[in-house]
Structure 1
Amino acid sequence: MKSLHFALMLGLSLLGACAVATEEPSFTVSLSKGDCEVRDYPALVVAEVSVAGDRKEAASKGFRLLAGYIFGGNTTKQKIAMTAPVVQAAASGEKIAMTAPVLQSGGDGNWVVRFIMPRGSTLETLPKPSNPKVQLQAIEPARMAVVRFSGLAQQSAIAANTDRLLGFIRAQQLHAIGSPALAQFDPPWTLWFLRRNEVMIPIARH
């Protein structure tokens, strides 16, 4: 456990110091208004876990489980590159649309936390997780309405930016087809004013 913690901290230190080299999912922008955009994401492969707790507690639990997988907790003991962001969304009975990047949204205390696998990954080529709580999933292409904001992702900031994004969706006559999610791109020791966050909502393709 100590060695895993050390490896995780080292890997995230490198991520924070060399953010430019950290892979993020590709996307195309079809509409941009200030800090709000409409983006199209390609098909992706993710590792995900279902966890319970409040937003921060669930994010921490999920992150540790997924970090175990990418730091060698798999059938081939293979290390898998960390990407940004991490994804957290409220769990529900419906399939959750992929939002890229950590994504979070309010729910009844049950959450899905996701790591996006490196570009080119497939269900066939990725090693199988050793922990049965970690599942690999293929996610279909998705169109997302997104608003960017900086600073700490406190609940008040999440709520305010969700309202901004919903206003953008209404103004552009878009149709939301899923719940809001919070995407966080930076390790926790990043200075608050340098942190990158996004609220994302899946929308229908016209």
Structure 2
Amino acid sequence: MASSQFCNQNFRPVSVVCVGSRFSNPAVGFPSLKTWNCRDLNLKTDYLWAIRLSLVEPKSAVDVQRLVGFLYDDLPHLFDDQGIDQTAYDEAVIFRDPITKHDSLSGYLFNIALLKIVFRPQFQLHWVKQTGPNEITTRWTMIMKFMPLPWKPELVFTGTSVMGINPVNGKFCSHVDFWDSIKKSDYFSFEGLWDVFKQLRIYKTPDLETPKYQILKRTANYEVRQYSPFIVVETNGNKLSGSTGFNDVAGYIFGKNSTVEKIPMTTPVFTQALDAELSKVSIQIVLPFDKEMDSLPNPNQEAISLRKVEGGIAAVVKFSGKPTEEIVREKEKALRSNIIKDGLKPKMGCLLARYNDPGRTWSFIMRNEVLIWLEEFSLD
């Protein structure tokens, strides 16, 4: 999470107190950053800038906690028909993300409108916190579809936004985004542009029901998802990339059960390794979300069973191509290494998720995923 840094200089209150290292606007009272005597500010490049709101003397009388509550109510409308409350923002509001910048309310609103047209964003607000005397930080997930491309690729961004407050009028005067997936979030970030470009590739996801999940965080190497509970029909398999047992579990949903009930097909097909060596494997088909354990027909075969997966939080890596045993094990090893490197605690085993019929899908557009359940996870 972005945090405040404090400088050791006093100056008179000004009408706008959100300032950056790349600009100084005397017309609205911006002090030049070069004149500051900063203890904690590390200016490594001319691109680094942050909100300096704790410098104003005397202390602001702005009710920051009221604004925290306001953002909880207002930001969920960022991309819907209602929209945000424009009166809460300064006319000179400054917006920055790794590849976009605007220095006015009209530019800020134009950016929101453009995203709605081109990307159809789904915005989810996780939390809002006061992180400085005149600063609020929000954490969010945004999922977008790039509509101009025929395959409408899904782009996922997670991160924090640091919102600066003008202590003179209590309005937001800056909004700076930091993405979890890149190290350099300063405008203009070629790393950020490359992060967007990488997500434009084609993945084929069948138009079938999938387990419900929420993306909590997307790093450069994996996503962290929170899965809702789901039910699987499963039997023993032979290896992670194998198909042994698939016909048996598929037979159950096609009507080979105690009531001859046909159950709609879902995606993906899971193979789950339960041990550290990834040798003890089960193959699973997820049942539709509206099914309950007590209403499902019994399997006709002893080797087939129904089980409720309680859900939870998983780290997930996505990849295309034919998921051979060697590739899947390499993906699992790399994912586990990255999880541990980031200070998370992975559980034993993993799941391979295969979304496509290998006989009807070109390998380069196949969607495959390796999932590892996590012991615990926090967005704080």
Q: Which residue of structure 1 aligns with residue 304 of structure 2?
A: 134
Structure 1, unaligned runs of 5 or more: 1-17, 95-104
Does the 8 A contact of 1:143 with 1:203 survive in 2? yes
Which of 106, 118, 129 aligns to 2:278? It is 106
Does the 8 A contact of 2:233 with 2:287 survive in 1? yes
Structure 2, unaligned runs of 5 or more: 1-203
Does the 8 A contact of 1:30 with 1:40 survive in 2? yes
- Give the Cα–Cα distance (whole angstroms) in 2 for the partners of residues 61 and 155 of structure 1: 14
- Give the Cα–Cα distance (whole angstroms) in 2 for the partners of residues 204 and 155 of structure 1: 25
Which of 353, 363, 370 aligns to 1:192? It is 363
- TM-score scaled by length of structure 1: 0.76
Counterpart code for 1:115: I
Q: Which residue of structure 2 aligns with residue 80 of structure 1?
A: 263
- Give the Cα–Cα distance (whole angstroms) in 2 for the partners of residues 47 and 37 of structure 1: 26
- Give the Cα–Cα distance (whole angstroms) in 2 for the partners of residues 55 and 159 of structure 1: 8
Greater helix content: 1
- Give the Cα–Cα distance (whole angstroms) in 1 for the partners of residues 319 and 206 of structure 2: 19
The answer to whether the aligner puts 1:64 opposite 2:242 as a matched pair is no
- Give the Cα–Cα distance (whole angstroms) in 2 for the partners of residues 90 and 140 of structure 1: 17
CA RMSD of aligned residues (A): 2.1
Sort the Cα spacing of 1:80 and 1:35 in 2 relative to 1 into closer, same or farther, 3 A: farther
Sort the Cα spacing of 1:115 and 1:205 in 2 relative to 1 into closer, same or farther, 3 A: same
- Give the Cα–Cα distance (whole angstroms) in 2 for the partners of residues 67 and 91 of structure 1: 21
Q: How many residues align?
A: 173
Which of 342, 350, 359 aligns to 1:172? It is 342
- Give the Cα–Cα distance (whole angstroms) in 1 for the partners of residues 227 and 215 of structure 2: 9
Alignment of 1:36-55 (within 5 A): 36-51=222-237, 53-55=238-240
Counterpart code for 1:27: Y
Report which structure shows greater RCO (CA 8 Å, sep ≥6): 1
Does the 8 A contact of 2:215 with 2:224 survive in 1? yes
For each residue in 1:98-153, what CA deviation from the matched residue of structure 2 results, as whole angstroms up to 9, or x when unmatched? xxxxxxx831xx42111111011111111111112111111112110110011111
- TM-score scaled by length of structure 2: 0.43
What SS does structure 2 have at the residue aligned with 1:49?
strand
Counterpart code for 2:250: A
Alignment of 1:7-26 (within 5 A): 19-26=205-212
- Give the Cα–Cα distance (whole angstroms) in 2 for the partners of residues 44 and 194 of structure 1: 26
Counterpart code for 1:153: P
What SS does structure 2 have at the residue aligned with 1:60?
coil
Counterpart code for 1:162: E
- Give the Cα–Cα distance (whole angstroms) in 1 for the partners of residues 294 and 261 of structure 2: 14
Q: Which residue of structure 1 aligns with residue 374 of structure 2?
A: 203
Following superposition, the deviation at residue 172 of structure 1 comes to 2.0
The percent of aligned pairs where both chains have the same amino acid is 29
